[in-house]
Structure 1
Amino acid sequence: MPAFPHSTTSASVPTAVAVPPSLALPAIETAFPRQLHPYWPRLQEKTRRWLLDKRLMSAEKVREYADGLCYTDLMAGYYTGAPDEVLQAIADYSAWFFVWDDRHDRDIVHHRPDAWGRLRRELHTALDAPGDHLRHPDPLVAGFADSVARLYSFLPQSWNARFARHFHAVVEAYDREFHNRTEGIVPTVREYLELRRLTFAHWIWTDLLEPSAGIELPDDVRKNPAYRRPALLSQEFAAWYNDLCSLPKEIAGDEVHNLGISLIKHEGLDLEEAESNIRRRIEECISEFIVAEQEGLRFADGLADGTVRGKEISVAVRACLGNMRNWFSSVYWFHHESGRYMVDSWDDRSTPPYVNNEAAGEK
């Protein structure tokens, strides 16, 4: 069931979903009101159609699962001030990302290193020249090219180059994960935290704050700790909360990539201790973000130096900080509403019902 009714048009969104006590975060539920972009109903409709048109999901799976996966809800709750066409491009790209993640998983499960290696190479190539890959025979490559080409249309080439550089690193991180999972290698906590920032695409989602705000931020603004720290904290929260929610099923599935699994393997913690450790990190992220957010807002105010450009950058930084805050609530509720995490309802806990479990990518 989708998170928001079609009649929703207000900025603040009430939530009535029951959260298991072990995963409940009162600080999120009380101090981070849920927001929603008013374009959401159209967004859901158009992304559903895009998944079908690009052959990323079959008509049956789109009809049965697309809305319940809540991919558009996640993005509509994050980039709330984005122009409609920017949000649409981001939402389609995000939906593609989830499908790609599922293909990566299936290539590992079905022992398809050649298929994964080919896809990896083609994504690198398409990232640098998306217009040349819009009719690629693999729907995953063609859909990627389409979404990236649209994202590249909003800001200058310098932003595009940065986005490409960051996503090249994400593809390589997925390759390292492929190797670790096929070899049964559990990374150390330090190795995992570094890898997770890439596989969760921390800097990609942060980059996308800028087209949402309608401006490419200068390097000295974007790299300033007053901006960079709240951005990182918002992403770390999301990655670690995902790990907390996923830990029991990933242990059951012999996974190797989860902060809890690294803590158990390399720090000697038991399951309960690992969950407590992750939860402590999450709660520290929330409290540290609240402090960093205020520092960021003071930084934004200082950018308004009396010039038109200074005012423009100040307003954009404030918008980006607001969306960093939105990420907390959007991620939190997504994990309790999306069918992606309702493994107890699947016929086969090892095979998500919404994925193509055939030998995709093989020739």
Structure 2
Amino acid sequence: MPAFPYSTTSTVTAVPPSLCLPVIEAAFPRRLHPYWPRLQERTRAWLLEKRLMSAEKVAEYADGLCYTDLMAGYYLGAPEEVLQAVADYSAWFFVWDDRHDRDIVHRRPGAWQRLEDQLHTALDAPRDHLEHEDPLIAGFADAMVRLYAFLPGTWNDRFARHFHAVIGAYGQEFRNRTGGIIPTVDEYLELRRLTFAHAIWTDLLEPSAGVELPDSVRKHPEFRRAALLSQEFAAWYNDLCSLPKEIAGDEVHNLGISLIKHEGLTLEEAVVEVRRRVEECIQEFLGAESGALRLADEIDDGTVRGKEVAAAVRACVANMRNWFSSVYWFHHESGRYMVDSWDDRSTPPYVNNEAAGDK
């Protein structure tokens, strides 16, 4: 399968048979925002400016991690300044995820707790933290000031509420991993919706469409289901791709690991079950997508407001669809998942293994 023409990967993208999803490759065509080349360049510069990655690591790894490819394949139609803010925030999110992992690996509960507290505070008053001594807090504050500028305060409040929950979930994952606690399947699914930030990526569809959606749309069963399924696919496909690596690393947070521990499945059976759930997400999304598009038709009642909201709904649903292909190819092109090429399978080469915190 040829790599996407605008991707950082210029050779054929090989997908292992166990991870290959023909329906994605056939029915979810890859698309990319035309701003992508500048997006990649500017996010790379932002990572440097905010000291989130060293110059050496940015030069060697930033493009190959494909973080901007992921966002440029998702939020199509977004104004350039919105996509740039979203992409920078997404790059920050990956760096934060790596700091979280390093704090767990190096057993730094004090450092993690301070970071968690500071993020909660910065989320509510980002302008007060633009010059914070920790680059992770300053970079987060910068991203939030920009994201908060696009839609009314009601959207900002909702986003903040959703991200407070994500921060708290990362704290729960910290405690589970340091305590060797493998959550049950139901506990894991609930926590995963937060650690994968389902609500956040869905919220960001709105500034990309230029409209804050009314509650009657966001809470409509078909719209909510389409949004959830697009995110569940991403989270569970990530688990499918990561399962062998995470078992080898004594991880506790993976749907497959919960199935093995609490449902008595073998590794092979767990892989089959996670894949079944992934494929079921795709099929169920197609039905929910049709329902959400019917909702847009109903909203388009001939009024100016009806036309505006209906167009935004259609844009959001189209981008939910784009998430499937963007996530799928990201997992096979990003250096983040090429564990076999790392010198040390336990330590990603693009992270600062001695990140700020307790030693």
Q: Deviations over 1:124-164 (max 9, x none)?
A: 00000000000000000000000011000000000000000
* Matching residue within 158, 167, 181 for 1:162: 158
Specify the alignment match of 1:278 in structure 2: 274
Q: In structure 1, what residue type is equivalent to 2:129? A: H
Where does residue 140 of structure 1 map in the other structure? 136
Q: Deviations over 1:292-312 (max 9, x none)?
A: 111111110100111100000
Runs of 4+ in 1 over 2 A off after TM superposition: 3-8, 13-16
Once the two structures are aligned, what percentage of the paired residues are identical? Answer: 80
Q: How does 1:1-363 map to 2 (within 5 A)?
A: 16-362=12-358
Which letter maps to 1:312? E
Query: Structure 1 residues 5, 34: CA separation in 2 closer, same or farther (over 3 Å shift)?
Result: closer
Whole-Å Cα distance in 2 between the matches of residues 15 and 225 of structure 1? 41
Q: Unmatched 5+ residue regions in structure 2?
A: none
Q: 2:264 is matched by which residue type in structure 1?
A: G
Contact 1:138 1:361 (C-alpha < 8 Å) held by counterparts: no
Looking at structure 2, the residues matched to 6 and 305 of structure 1 have their Cα atoms a distance apart, in angstroms, of: 38
Deviation at 1:343, TM superposition (A): 0.3
Amino acid at match of 1:157: G
Structure 1 counterpart of 2:39, one-letter code:
L
Deviation at 1:333, TM superposition (A): 0.1
TM-score by length of 1: 0.96
CA contact (8 A) 1:202 1:232 kept: yes
2:92/2:139 contact within 8 Å kept: yes
- Matched letter for residue 204 of structure 2: L
TM-score, L = length of structure 2: 0.97
Query: Quick check: 1:68–1:338 contact (8 Å CA) kept in 2?
Result: yes
Partner deviation per Cα, 1:180-235 (whole Å, 9 max, x = no partner): 00000000000000000000000000000000000000011111012111000000
What does the per-residue CA deviation read over 1:41-67, in whole Å, with 9 as the maximum and x for residues that have no partner?
Answer: 000000000000000000000000000
Q: Secondary structure at the match of 1:175?
A: helix
User: 1:348/1:17 Cα in 2 relative to 1: closer, same or farther (>3 Å)?
Assistant: same
CA contact (8 A) 1:14 1:34 kept: no
Letter in 1 for 2:253: H
Q: Give structure 1 stretches of 5+ with no counterpart.
A: none
The offset of 1:360, in angstroms, is 1.5
RMSD: 1.5
- CA distance in structure 1 between the partners assigned to 2:310 and 2:102 by the alignment: 44
Report the alpha carbon displacement of residue 361 of structure 1 after superposing the two structures with TM.
Answer: 2.9
How many angstroms apart in 1 are the aligned matches of 2:102 and 2:108? 8
Residues 151 and 207 in structure 2, CA contact (< 8 A), matched pair in contact too: yes
In structure 1, give the amino acid aligned to 2:335.
G
Alpha-carbon distance between aligned partners in 2 of 1:248 and 1:362, rounded to the nearest angstrom: 30
Cα 1:334–1:6 change in 2 (3 A) is closer
After superposition, the Cα gap between the structure-2 partners of 1:7 and 1:162, relative to the gap in structure 1 and judged at 3 Å, is closer
TM-aligned CA deviation for residue 4 of structure 1 = 5.2
Distance 2:33 2:12 in 1: 19
1-side partners of 2:152 and 2:23: how far apart?
A: 38
Q: How many aligned residue pairs are there?
A: 357
Cα distance in 1 for residues equivalent to 2:283 and 2:65: 29
Superposed CA offset, 1:23-48 (max 9, x none)? 00000000000010000000000000
Q: Which amino acid aligns with 1:130?
A: P
Bigger Cα displacement from structure 2, 297-306 vs 159-168: 297-306
